[in-house]
Every structure is written in structure tokens, then in C-alpha cells.
Amino acid sequence: NSIVWMLKFYAPWCGYCKKLEPIWHEVGAELKSSGSPVRVGKMDATAYSGMASEFGVRGYPTIKLLKGDLAYNYKGPRTKDDIVEFANRVAGPAVRALPSKQMFEHMMKRHDVLFVYVGGDSPLKEKYNDAASELIVYTYFFSASEEALPESVSLPELPAVVVFKDGGYFTYDEYEDSSLSLWVNKERFQGYLQIDGFTLYELGETGGVCSFSIYNVFIPEFHFPLHIVFTLVRVYNRILSKRDFQFGHMDGNDYINSLIMGEVTVPSVIILNTSNEQYFLPSEPIESMEQLVQFISSVLNGSAQAYGGDGIIQRIKRVAFDARSTIMSVFRSSPLLGCFLFGLPLGVISLMCYGICTAESDDGSDDIDAPKREGLTDEEEEEEEEERQRAAALEGPEEEDEDVGEKDPEEKKTD
């Protein structure tokens, strides 16, 4: 049980699993060469469905690190460096000690966000250890004495939990910030960061956990200098008591266009509410810091128009948009394959419809006469029958005369 395993649950038919396979071999070689206690393996979840179900595997590939009685899910980017860093972080102690100022400064240089518990044994330390065991999959946790902290750090009371990021530090307040785990889950992001699909997913999960809305200000290729944006972040972090805004930027607008199912010009600013999938766009292009501040303030006070959402209509639009995007991507990547996949079924259906529409029925005349007879009274039917008999009587003699008129050659000789 002291052995730490990191397993990849896969399915033989899964394309993403096949794409991860060479990276997984590199991860195993890297951990083995570095002397890590983590052993790397893989399991066919389709062949061992019972084991996969026991570990809660619902998709492929799924990466889990098994440490004692705990199983940690990996949800980060599927790159060698990220997976190796995850394995080394989770395999070690949940809380690492910083015994000196030199070690503290070294860790500050290595990590953009640093959580530190300062003080002795206390109920707060127990909560901190529990939060570290739960959230070690996302970030590191440290402990230090007050003497190991930089001289510029001044804490009002001890024990305390402090997060160092964005050139400053913030202290956890048990009365204002409620749960320590929720506070850590919110503060583990920098104030301004590069946004991609995975980061947006994580921010969305954070918004679902917290009781308040988390807004993410995306600035695709924003032309303002970064130090001005950082200043704006620090100002808003001080104004907003809970620091509900998360700032970041995206390179290009392809991902954000698919997210809002529309077109965003570059450069531009968009504010996304990850709790209900609403987004806000400025009414006019933002060209100054004052306009940016006014735009954010309008979102805060509710005067800005909201788009999107998670209603039924939006979900239907999302399904249609995803289907259209999938079809378009298939035709762009391989036009012949797209014509075969979508043209063949349409051709078969067209032939079936044509055959059904042009088919002739044997009893078609009966079907045509039937409606005519329907609706006639008994007297009308009798009159119609009498007319038929009269017509037959008149036709009979004529046929006989014709028969008489046409004699056989032998009869003609006799006459």
C-alpha cells in the first residue's frame, strides 16, 4: 500500500487514448529516471469494466493517481511536463515545510501562487491540512514559521493562512470567506493569466462551487500594456471585497467565437459569467482605460445587456451549432470523406422516397371506383343496375347480327 500508482484507464477504440499513448510512455520514462516513487501503468477499462467502475471511470482516457486509500483525478493538460509535475506534487506530502527565508524566496520564484500556513498547532491548521489533501491536485501547499517570512509581510494575528500572488498577499478570513477549501479554490488563480480551453473549464468549475458569480474578463490580443492591466486588477481587487473578477487574455478569437456562437472582433473585451454562461459585450469599441472601467461597472450594476445563458433555447442552439461545426470541420479536413459520409445516406433515402412515390398499385382501379360507389343510396344503386342491364340487352342483338352476318365459307357454298 506504500506504493504510489498512476494509472491510465483507456479504451482500445478511443482516439484520444491513442494520441496520449506516446506521451504516457515518456511520462513513465521520466518518472523512472528521476527516481520518483510513482509507478506508471495502464488498464483497459473495457476488459476490466468492474475495476473501472469501482474507480468511477466515466470517460476515456482517465488518469488517476492512487495513494494509500485515496484516488486523485488528473484534469490538467495532457502534456508530459504537466502530468509529471502532477505526479510529483500529489505523491509527496500534502503540506511541505519552508524552514528558512532562503527556501521561502526560492519557492516564491518557482510558483506564481503560493499558499502558506503560518503558526503552530490549531484548529485552523487541521482545516488547512484537510484542504491541502483535497486540493493538492491543483496547487502546492506549504507551512512556515513567522521568522521564515519576508520582512515586508506583516500579519495581524497568528495562526493565519496566506496566499502570495500578483506581487502581494491576501489573508484568509474565517468569518468573511466562510469555507477554507472554497477560498483556496478561488484564490489558486493569478489575477491576470493566459486563458485557454482548459483554464476556462477550471474557472467554470470554480464558479459552480462558489456561492457568488465569478466573472472572467477576456481580453483577446488586448493592446493595453500589461502593467496597466495589472494596475487595474489590483485596484479592482481592493474595491471588490470578494475579488469576484478574474482577468485574463486569449490569443485570437476562435475559441471565444465557438463559446458564444458568434463573431468577436480582435482586439475586444468580453465578460463571461461562468455560473450561468451569460456574456457581456461593450456597446462600442474600448480604446481607453476609462471605457474599460465603465464597461466593468455596467456589468456590476446590471445595466449592461446580457447575452447567452443556459436556458433551453440556448441549449438547442448549442446542439445545432455543434452539429454544424462538426459537419463543416469534416468537409474542410476531408471533402471526399464528408461527401461519402453525408452523401451516401442522403442518396439511399432519396431512392427509397422515389420508389415509394412512383410505385403502382394492382387494385388501383378498384380503389378509384370504390369512392364513387360510396355514398349512393339503395334506389340509386338499383337504377344504376337497371341501366347496366338495358345496355347489355341492346348490345346483345347487335353482336348476334354480327355473328349471323359472318358465315363460314362452307355455308356459303351450300347456299
Active site residues: 14, 17
Full DSSP string of 224-257? S-HHHHHHHHHHHHHHSTT--EEEEE-SSSHHHH
Pairwise CA distance, residues 292 & 301, whole Å: 14
Residue 23 phi, psi dihedral angles, 5° rounding: -65, -40
Question: Residue type at 118?
Answer: V
Q: For residue 163, which of 219, 89, 85, 237 has the smallest C-alpha distance?
A: 237
Interior angle at CA 87, CA 33 and CA 45, nearest 5: 105
Q: For residue 191, which of 209, 172, 215 has the smallest C-alpha distance?
A: 215
3-state secondary structure of 298: helix
Q: Look at strands 38-44 and 4-10 and give their pairing.
A: parallel
Spatial contact of 93 and 75, defined as CB atoms under 8 Å apart: no
Spatial contact of 95 and 131, defined as CB atoms under 8 Å apart: no
**Strand ranges (E), 2-128:** 4-10, 38-44, 62-67, 70-73, 96-98, 114-118
Pairwise CA distance, residues 309 & 267, whole Å: 23
User: Which residues make beta-bridge pairs with 193?
Assistant: 248
Pairwise CA distance, residues 44 & 12, whole Å: 7
User: Which residues make beta-bridge pairs with 97?
Assistant: 143
Pairwise CA distance, residues 220 & 256, whole Å: 9
3-state secondary structure of 107: helix
Give, in order, the Cα–Cα distances in Å from 171 to each of 12, 22, 155: 48, 43, 8
Pairwise CA distance, residues 398 & 385, whole Å: 21
